[in-house]
A and B are shown apart, each in its own frame.
Chain A
């Protein structure tokens, strides 16, 4: 049994966790939910010793076993999984951090998570979903007893998410491993969790109810695609595209149209080439190449990448969106952060800021990569409603997403699969 009592955490003089107390049975799965910015990641980082060792901060409170010994038994997998991977090849990552040394075992373990064919591949060419699965493989084979997973399914499609959740349940039940998981999807985990903890404003409560039920019910009931476009469309056509390091083309025979005022959702398993497709469309718009064609011979478009920091180009949200865009900060629930330096925003806040900026700049088409990844249902709803509003005003969207709520607002769904 792990018992934590009255834990308080301060970072940069900001009181993040307030008198947090809870207990966790060994060999159980505990789900930690709460709105963005409520301190969920901070709690995991405190339990694993990242705070105060790697992040400066003050931790006060009691824990049995003490936090110092807990951190030696704990493996924390970062919310942005690429920061968990430290070697250039998939095999070197697994062989270097686990006891799996034989190529056959390594391949078999990776196979369970659909990574068997990527043993020799470079880790920097893996998709976000593939990196997320690789991080999970290393965490569960590292020999640590307590695994802390920060949004482990945010970049995974439904099939891979369910596979991961099933595996967590199996490891907990059959091998006595303890998991604390931050995720927003309670339904996904419901068969395996023994306890749900709800964190809001730094305070923790145990709950048996789904705290997001109202919002998710609303989304299930109300979300509809926008009224379809006004006729002016972009034609997208990729006959074949392959990376220089690959023998097989990643994308073949892809052809679809996106019209102004329409939402086109691109879905497919992780690693199927969704992000690559968005980047190809983006380059096509810039250079008028044959991938993109339109009746007006131009396309004013922008790409909002999954790492939203790469979209931002101004020091504060207010400067990023300009005077006309302040209303979008309000729509997306970040108007109180208008003057906060972007480097101090959380990843969810940056994501919403990048979307607000793209919406405020009068683009005809916006290409978005996983715009709702890692957002709690309330903020997800804000983003989706903002997209519908913009589409109603004539903006065309191409969105790569695994999120079923995003799919609900699609006028068209383009499915791509590997090969």
Chain B
């Protein structure tokens, strides 16, 4: 396999993993938990992950539990593969310094757990809620941006994936396909501006899920207890 093909394949894989880790699944009930609780959960996970292996495993379990209970177990595989990229990197670069397989493995596990926590947070982040909160805070003129960002990023990523596929078929260097994808992105800015010009102001509405908020609070409470007791 040529270097060009390998690079293109790798880029396509990463794009696809990122897409599948954060942007798929539509609007499920599990995504209707207040952002403040999600943020508190992430912060607690990072704090607990600073301890030893036992605490790391508790955090890892909390992340996996969050995915499963909130109805997104299928995402775990994609997120885990994506989280493996930085953790493998940390394992490899730390090995010459630690000179210990176990110490480097612990570093890698910590990076993996924290990366997975971030991916989990971003996955369950609901941009409509951010828009809704901005409107409640009388910042209605900013309320379009969170939803628009969540709409445009996957739109561009999907197009980038297609451009790379076509580029590979045409045997064009990956950078040329990416250059076109970047040009496309630039053009998208003006096309979205044209497309949205005559639409009325965006007025987000949003409902919270009591069930999933409660579940997340239980997970959060368990982590806080771990932090206090271990």
Q: Does B150 contact A (CB under 8 A)?
A: yes
**Interface assignment of B138: CB less than 8 Å from any CB of chain A:** no
A86, B192: Cβ atoms under 8 Å?
yes
Interface extent on B, as a size class? 35 or more
Is A74 a contact of B147 with CB atoms below 8 Å?
A: no
| C-alpha gap A95/B23 in the complex (Å) | 20
Query: B26 to chain A: which residues have CB within 8 Å?
Result: 89, 120-122, 125, 245
Q: Which residues of B contact A305 (CB under 8 A)?
A: 162, 166
Q: Give min CB distance, A26 to chain B, whole Å.
A: 18
Q: Which of A45, A138, A313, A314 has the most CB of B within 10 A?
A: A313
Number of interface residues of A (CB under 8 A): 59
Q: How far is the CA of A138 from the CA of B28 in the complex (A)?
A: 22
Interface membership of chain B positions 21-34, coded 1 if the CB is closer than 8 angstroms to chain A and 0 otherwise: 00111111000000
CA distance A221 to B185 in the complex (A): 42
Q: How far is the CA of A305 from the CA of B181 in the complex (A)?
A: 13
Q: Which residue from chain A places its CB closest to the CB of B28 in the assembled complex?
A: A120
> Is B96 close to A, CB under 8 A?
no
Q: Do A307 and B162 form a contact, CB below 8 Å, given A48-B198, A286-B169?
A: yes
Contact residues, B151-189 vs A (CB, 8 A): 151, 154-155, 158-159, 162-163, 165-170, 172, 176-177, 180-181, 183-184, 187-188
Cα distance, A48 to B197, chains bound together (Å): 9
User: Is A265 located at the chain interface by the 8 A CB criterion?
Assistant: no
Q: Contact check: which of A50, A88, A303 meets B165 at CB < 8 Å?
A: A303
B128/A101 in contact, CB under 8 A: no
Give the Cβ gap from A182 to chain B, nearest Cβ, in Å: 14
Known A95-B205, A123-B151, A245-B24; judge A282-B165 contact (CB<8 A): yes
Is A266 positioned at the interface, with any CB of B under 8 Å from its CB? Answer: no
**Interface residues in A55-95 (C-beta closer than 8 Å to B):** 55, 71, 74-76, 78, 80, 82-89, 91-92, 95
Cβ of A302 within 8 Å of any chain B Cβ, yes or no, is: yes
* 8 Å CB interface, B171-224 against A: 172, 176-177, 180-181, 183-184, 187-188, 190-200, 202-205
Q: Is the CB of A78 within 8 A of B191?
A: yes
Q: How far is the CA of A281 from the CA of B229 in the complex (A)?
A: 56
CB distance from A382 to the nearest CB of B (A): 22
- Chain A residues with CB under 8 Å of B158's CB are 124
Instruction: Check B70 for interface membership: any CB of A closer than 8 A.
Output: no
* A88 and B128 contact, CB distance less than 8 A: yes
Q: Does B108 sit at the interface, judged by CB under 8 A?
A: no
Contact B24 A244 (CB under 8 A): yes
The answer on a CB contact under 8 Å between B151 and A309 is: no
B148, CB-defined interface residue at 8 Å: yes
| B131 neighbours in A (Cβ, 8 Å) | 96
Query: A302 to B190, alpha carbons, bound, how many Å?
Result: 29
Residue in A76, A84, A310 whose beta carbon sits within 8 Å of that of B163 in the complex: A310
Choose among A74, A282, A313, A361 the residue that contacts B198 (Cβ–Cβ < 8 A). Answer: A74
Task: List the B side residues contacting A1 at CB < 8 Å.
Answer: none
Q: How far is the CB of B173 from chain A (nearest CB, A)?
A: 9
Specify which of B128, B163, B193 is in contact with A89 (CB 8 Å cutoff): B128
Give Cα A153–Cα B101 distance, bound, in whole angstroms. 62
Known: A88-B127, A124-B154, A313-B170. A144 touches B24 (CB 8 A): no
Residue in A91, A123, A310 whose beta carbon sits within 8 Å of that of B159 in the complex: A310
Instruction: Please tell me if the beta carbons of B166 and A84 are within 8 angstroms of each other in the complex.
Output: no
* B67-98 interface (Cβ within 8 A of A): 74, 78
User: B194, A50: Cβ atoms under 8 Å?
Assistant: yes
In chain B, positions 1-47 with a C-beta closer than 8 Å to chain A are 20, 23-28
Q: In the complex, which of the residues A49, A122, A144 contacts B23, with contact meaning CB atoms closer than 8 Å? A: A122
By a CB distance below 8 angstroms, the chain A residues around B27 are: 88-89, 91-92, 120-122
Pick the contact of A313: B127, B148, B167 (CB < 8 A). Answer: B167
Rounded to whole Å, the gap between the CB of B35 and the closest CB of chain A is 15
Contacts of A279 in B (CB 8 A): 162, 165
Given A49-B197, A124-B154, also A86-B147 (CB < 8 A): yes
Given contacts A120-B28, A245-B25, A307-B159, is CB(A45)–CB(B194) below 8 Å? yes
Residues on A with C-beta less than 8 A from B180 are 309-310, 312-313
Given contacts A86-B202, A244-B74, A309-B180, contact A122 B154 (CB under 8 A): yes
Q: Which residues of A contact B155 (CB under 8 A)?
A: 82, 124
- Whether the Cβ atoms of B20 and A244 lie closer than 8 Å is yes
* A134 located at the interface, meaning its Cβ lies under 8 Å from any Cβ of chain B in the complex: no
Docked pose: A262 CA to B23 CA in angstroms:
39
Listed A/B pairs (25) with beta-carbon separation below 8 Å: A54-B193, A76-B197, A78-B194, A78-B195, A80-B191, A83-B188, A83-B192, A84-B199, A85-B151, A86-B147, A86-B192, A88-B147, A89-B27, A89-B128, A97-B203, A120-B26, A120-B27, A143-B200, A283-B165, A305-B166, A307-B184, A311-B166, A312-B180, A314-B176, A361-B170
Q: Apart from A84-B195, A96-B128, what 20 extra A-B contacts exist at CB < 8 Å?
A: A80-B191, A84-B196, A86-B144, A87-B151, A88-B27, A88-B147, A89-B27, A92-B147, A92-B204, A95-B204, A96-B131, A96-B204, A122-B24, A122-B27, A124-B23, A125-B26, A244-B74, A282-B169, A307-B159, A309-B187
Using a CB–CB cutoff of 8 Å, the interface residues on chain B facing chain A are 20, 23-28, 74, 78, 127-128, 131, 144, 147-148, 150-151, 154-155, 158-159, 162-163, 165-170, 172, 176-177, 180-181, 183-184, 187-188, 190-200, 202-205
